[in-house]
Chains A and B, each alone.
Chain A
Amino acid sequence: MEKTVKHREFGLPESPNYSITVDVPHESDPDDLWKDSRVYVNIGPTHPAMHGALRMCARLNGETIEKSYCEFGYTHRAKEKLGENRTYHNFIVYTDRLNYCSALINNVTYAMAIERLMGVEVPARAVWIRMICAEMARVIDHLICVGINAVDLGAFSFFLYGFHQREEAYTLIEKLCGARLTTSYTRIGGLMHDAPPGWEKEVKDWVVRTRKTVQEMDKLLTNNRIWSQRTQGVGVFTREQCMKYGFSGPNARGSGIDRDLRRDQPVMFYKNVEFDVPVGKNGDVFDRYLVRMAEIFQSLNIIAQCADRLQPGPIWSEDKRVRIPDKDVVFNTMEGMIHHFKFFMAGFDVPEGEAYTTFEAANGELGFYVVSKGGPRAHRMRIRGPSVYHYQALSEMCQGAKIADMVANLGSINIIAGELDR
């Protein structure tokens, strides 16, 4: 038996977004208070608790989610199709909009992917700056994740502490490339601009201040009783489940999977810096939070080490194929002008080949699978966003949980709609 209750009876506007169906079901459970009714609710795609345009449809027994399914794709911008229709240089700006909380990591990974296909070596200074950028983006991403997760559960001031440091980090990034959020900082074979003089000193000051702030944040929330009760034992996802679903990054480490691509598959100069990989145990919201907090400190240590080793030097590869011609050559010589024009209008050719380049992004394994058949455009530009695999598991994570815990789970696995929808 099934009856659909008219929207008017609930006083809701008549819209498919608010349809409520009351289902009269199955077996009778003596303890089941709501035994005669199951309510279907639609959460999202535009809902303040859903991070980005995500949608979850759930069958509720009272307040408990009995079964649910998730949908996404509301911000699909056809990045993979654009990757086949734009030159390799043009595609850099699209990588910003993947995980927009850590745009620099996407820039760096994309540049690495194409450099790997072409065999381009980047000079040391550019690599150290890229590492600082990647770790700064990771700190920003983790601050947002734990902050928003806490806001969802009612701890607002914690979030503001983190947000202040995030804004300061964005100011440092602005000094590098002129943009705060959509950075497009890396170029294939180099960087957009060199870091301004004294930048590494400012970065080190920021590291000291941020470390202090995050310690304060830690004192504020980690041992808070309400926070513990809302997060410990909530959204437990075991090691085996994580492996089944292809979890990576802090979410997998929260469940005890000791894997970090920076350590296990080192690229750039990660072999030369010292850091620990924090690993959780229980795989609940609290452990994922702890792993992220611990990773912030590790990332800050890496930034300090990188800033110490930053030496003056070139930031561009000497490879003529990828190097953007200098402006004085462009404006003063005919050949330079032609070179500039050809570079930006026609793009440079990438030799035939394919490579799957991965890097430990803030959320997990970010991968670019680029297939080139020669020419200035990719044959296939596949982006492996970690959030896809995490969001897939949300239904199972929330099964039998309360709606309020669903919000905690969603915040803790840090779904970014940009890299989910691509």
Chain B
Amino acid sequence: MDIRTPVPTIYGDFAKKHMELWRGQGERLKSTFPSAIEEIRWPGESATDVPIFYVSKSQLVEVLRFLKEADGFEYQFLSDLTATDEEVEPRFEVVYQLASFVSGSRIRVKTRVREGERVPTATSVWVGANWPEREVWDMFGVRFEGHPDMRRILMDERWEGHPLRKDYPLRGYQLFPDPMPINVDLLKD
């Protein structure tokens, strides 16, 4: 067995169980948002465990809200929000992992972002997207439009650069001897 060939059919029986549901959802999503869905990658055809919906930035929030609230979708649970650095433009992909409690299925939504571009925030759909979005800003330098509190989260606020970018060195230490004082502005009404 050649280890370099992709093996797309190995992700367990999860895909087998939900494939029909996903196909139907893909069709519906395409007809509802004809211009927003850029591409769909299906498990079995490409190397992924669940379908990936590539959504254009401009309609991202509408699509996410539709996925959360529409009958037959009900992906109410934002399991994870993160990003990847692809090194070629469009450089970043913001990744949303969604889970449904009704059907028990999972899907992945991605949006492609060029360097310096902003993504609309998902905090209006899930309040819990607040900190993961801050983390994406902190680690990748992707800003979110309309986010209530766009500060760094894991790194110190004086940190320079974004550590999870591929061009950031592994040992890019920065030391700050003093802790940050209380930010009184955040505690005003």
Residues of A within 8 A of B (CB): 16-17, 19, 21, 23, 26, 40, 42, 45, 57-59, 67-69, 72-73, 76, 78, 80-82, 84-85, 116-119, 243-246, 248, 257, 259, 264-265, 267, 321, 348-349, 351-358, 365, 367, 369, 371, 374, 379-380, 382, 384, 388-389, 392-393, 421-422
Shortest distance from the beta carbon of A392 to any chain B beta carbon, whole Å: 5
Once A352-B6, A353-B6 are accepted as A-B contacts, the answer to whether A367 and B187 lie under 8 Å apart by CB is no
Contact of A388 with B131 at beta-carbon distance under 8 Å, contacts A57-B182, A354-B47, A356-B97 already known = yes
Q: How far is the CA of A348 from the CA of B3 in the complex (A)?
A: 9
Min distance, Cβ A381 to any Cβ of chain B, angstroms: 10
Q: Are A116 and B11 in contact (CB under 8 A)?
A: yes
Alpha-carbon separation in the docked complex, A21 to B184 (Å): 9
Known contacts being A85-B170, A352-B6, A365-B79, is A421 close to B163, with CB within 8 Å?
no
> Which residues of chain A are within 8 angstroms of B84 by Cβ–Cβ distance?
371, 379-380
Query: A392: which B residues are within 8 A, CB to CB?
Result: 128, 130-131
Set B5, B79, B155, B182: member contacting A19, Cβ < 8 A: B182
On chain A, the residues within 8 Å of B139 by CB distance are 80
A259 CA to B103 CA in the complex, in Å?
12
Min CB gap A252→B, angstroms: 9
A241 to chain B, nearest CB (A): 8
Number of interface residues of B (CB under 8 A): 56
User: Which one of A45, A80, A246, A374 lies within 8 Å of B126 (CB-CB)?
Assistant: A246
Inter-chain CA distance A352–B77, complex, in Å, is 27
Taking a contact as CB atoms under 8 Å apart, the answer to whether A246 and B6 are in contact is no
Kindly state whether residue B56 has any CB partner on chain A within 8 Å. no
Cβ distance A413 to chain B, nearest Cβ, rounded Å: 14
Q: Which 3 A-B pairs have the closest CB atoms?
A: A119-B10, A353-B47, A246-B128
Do residues A243 and B154 form an inter-chain contact, with CB atoms below 8 A?
Answer: no
Q: CB-CB < 8 A to B156: which residues of A?
A: 73
Residue of B nearest to A45 (CB): B179
A246 touching B77 by the CB < 8 A rule? yes
Determine whether the beta carbon of B3 is less than 8 Å from that of A26.
no
In contact, A355 and B48 (Cβ under 8 angstroms)? yes
In angstroms, Cα B130 to Cα A16, docked, is 27
Which of chain B's residues 140-189 have a Cβ closer than 8 Å to chain A?
153-156, 163-164, 166, 168, 170, 178-184, 186-189
- Contact A116:B49 (CB < 8 A) given known A16-B179, A264-B104, A349-B4: yes
Least CB distance from A14 to B in Å reads 12
Give the docked Cα–Cα distance between A371 and B85 (Å). 11
Decide if B3 touches A321 in the complex (CB within 8 Å).
yes
Q: Is B21 an interface residue (CB 8 A)?
A: no
- The reply to whether B7 and A382 contact each other, CB–CB distance below 8 Å, is no
CB proximity of A422 to chain B, nearest CB, Å:
8
Contacts of A72 in B (CB 8 A): 153-154
Tell whether, in the assembled complex, residue B127 and residue A384 are in contact, meaning their CB atoms are under 8 Å apart. no
Please state if B7 and A354 are interface contacts (CB–CB under 8 Å): no
Whole-angstrom distance between the alpha carbons of A21 and B186 in the complex? Answer: 14
Q: Which of A58, A76, A348 has the most CB of B within 10 A?
A: A76
Asked if A76 contacts B187 (CB within 8 A), the reply is no
Q: Write 26 A-B pairs (CB below 8 A) sorted by A numbering.
A: A16-B179, A21-B182, A57-B186, A67-B187, A67-B188, A69-B183, A73-B156, A78-B163, A81-B170, A84-B164, A243-B76, A245-B126, A246-B78, A351-B6, A353-B7, A354-B47, A354-B49, A355-B49, A356-B80, A357-B49, A365-B79, A369-B82, A374-B4, A380-B82, A382-B80, A384-B80
Query: What is the chain A residue whose CB lies nearest that of B170?
Result: A85
A57-B187, A84-B166, A371-B84 are known contacts; what are 10 more A-B pairs with Cβ within 8 Å? Answer: A40-B184, A40-B187, A69-B186, A246-B77, A246-B128, A264-B101, A353-B8, A354-B48, A355-B49, A380-B84
Alpha-carbon distance between A392 and B148 when the two chains are bound, in angstroms: 14
The B32-51 residues at the A interface (CB cut-off 8 A) are 47-50
Is B95 part of the binding interface, using a Cβ–Cβ cutoff of 8 Å? Answer: yes
What is the CA–CA distance of A297 and B106 in the complex, to the nearest angstrom?
A: 30
Q: Which residue of A lies closest to B5 (CB)?
A: A351
- B132 close to A (CB within 8 Å): yes
Contacts of B82 in A (CB 8 A): 369, 380, 382, 384
By beta carbon, the residue of chain A nearest B41 is: A354
Question: Given that A40-B182, A389-B128 are known contacts, is A353 also in contact with B48, CB under 8 Å in the complex?
Answer: yes
CB distance from B18 to the nearest CB of A (A): 11
Residue B108 at the A interface, CB < 8 A? yes
Contact between B49 and A356, CB atoms less than 8 A apart: yes
Cβ–Cβ contact A80 & B106, under 8 A? no
Q: Which residues of A contact B116 (CB under 8 A)?
A: none
Contact B183 A57 (CB under 8 A): yes
Question: A245 contacts which chain B residues (CB < 8 A)?
Answer: 126-128
Q: Which residue of chain A has the shortest Cβ distance to B130 in the bound complex?
A: A392
Q: How far is the CA of A376 from the CA of B46 in the complex (A)?
A: 20
Docked-complex contact A16 and B178, CB < 8 angstroms:
yes
* B179 proximity list for chain A (CB < 8 A): 16-17, 45
With A57-B187, A73-B153, A351-B3 as given contacts, are A367 and B79 in contact (CB-CB < 8 Å)?
Answer: yes
In B68-126, the 8 Å CB interface with A consists of 76-80, 82, 84-85, 95, 97, 101, 104, 106, 108, 126
Across-interface contacts of B130 in A (CB, < 8 A): 392
B10 → chain A closest CB, angstroms: 3
Which residue, of A59, A82, A118, has the highest number of chain B Cβ atoms within 10 A? Answer: A59
Which one of A45, A82, A354, A369 has the greatest number of beta carbons of chain B within 10 Å? A354
